[in-house]
């Protein structure tokens, strides 16, 4: 129930107006975790690297605001003696509140197992806890499907580290804009 509430609040909640201005920045994330797939049912170890840009009403001094992010992800799962690889385009909708944040993630792209090529898609709900203004720990639950080597359901729990920074703000372009 909690992931559903997070998803609904991110997608349908009102915009943040407190002390935020338009910002844009970049993110880089490296995570590892455990995945379970079907066909056959088996546990997989995996890792992911994500990079992209974000934009939205944000206050970088307090890490407060909501954002949209678009990026790319490389995901690999080791299932038995085969390596499942996917290069995915991702969209994220997130919210940061001081040191903690939450996000909804949608990703899709080509998937490869040996010489079999297919398509993979995932949906994830996650959180972030900042140790420092730009660095923090992330955890995410993901579910999806892949078609390389036959239809395969996928569920993953990943944890890792993330770096996020604002690169542009409306204040820098026009300091008179509230």
Which domains can be identified in the chain, with CATH numbers? 2-11+24-169 (2.40.160.20)
Are 83 and 102 contacting, i.e. CB atoms less than 8 angstroms apart?
no
As a whole number, mean pLDDT of residues 50-70 equals 86
Are 63 and 130 contacting, i.e. CB atoms less than 8 angstroms apart?
yes
Is the pLDDT at 77 greater than 90, yes or no?
Answer: no
Confidence of residue 72 (pLDDT cuts 50, 70, 90): very high
Are 60 and 130 contacting, i.e. CB atoms less than 8 angstroms apart?
no
Please indicate whether residue 166 or residue 60 has the higher confidence score (pLDDT).
Answer: 166
Greatest mean pLDDT among 15-19, 63-67, 162-166 lies in 162-166
Are 117 and 111 contacting, i.e. CB atoms less than 8 angstroms apart?
yes
Which residues 6+ apart lie within 8 Å of 12 measured at CB?
none
CB atoms within 10 A of CB 135: 12
Which residues 6+ apart lie within 8 Å of 119 measured at CB?
108, 109, 110, 111, 146, 147, 148
pTM (2 decimals)? Answer: 0.81
Confidence of residue 80 (pLDDT cuts 50, 70, 90): confident
**90 has which bridge partners?**
71, 107
Instruction: For residues 63 and 58, give the distance between their C-alpha atoms in angstroms, rounded to a whole number.
Output: 7
Q: Among 2-16, 20-34, 44-58, 131-145, whose mean pLDDT is lowest?
A: 2-16
Q: Give the per-residue pLDDT at 31.
A: 96
DSSP-H helix ranges across the chain: 2-12, 170-173
pLDDT tens, position by position, 85-99: 999 999 999 998 888
Q: Give the per-residue pLDDT at 4.
A: 62
Is the pLDDT at 13 greater than 70, yes or no?
Answer: no
Token output for 35:
């995945």
């Amino acid at each position: 129930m909690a992931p559903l509430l997070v998803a609904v609040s991110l997608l349908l909640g009102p915009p943040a107006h407190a002390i935020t201005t338009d910002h844009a920045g970049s993110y880089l994330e490296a995570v590892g975790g455990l995945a379970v797939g079907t066909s056959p049912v088996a546990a997989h170890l995996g890792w992911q690297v994500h990079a992209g840009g974000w934009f939205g009403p944000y206050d970088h001094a307090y890490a407060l605001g909501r954002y949209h992010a678009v990026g790319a992800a490389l995901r690999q799962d080791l299932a038995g003696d085969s390596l499942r690889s996917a290069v995915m385009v991702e969209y994220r909708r997130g919210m940061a509140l001081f040191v903690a944040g939450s996000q909804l993630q949608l990703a899709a792209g080509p998937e490869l197992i040996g010489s079999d090529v297919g398509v993979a898609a995932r949906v994830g709900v996650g959180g972030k806890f900042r140790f420092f203004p730009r660095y923090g720990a992330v955890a995410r639950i993901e579910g999806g499907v892949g078609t390389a080597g036959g239809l395969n359901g996928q569920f993953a729990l990943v944890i890792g580290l993330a770096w996020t920074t604002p690169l542009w703000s409306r204040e820098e372009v026009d300091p008179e804009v509230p």
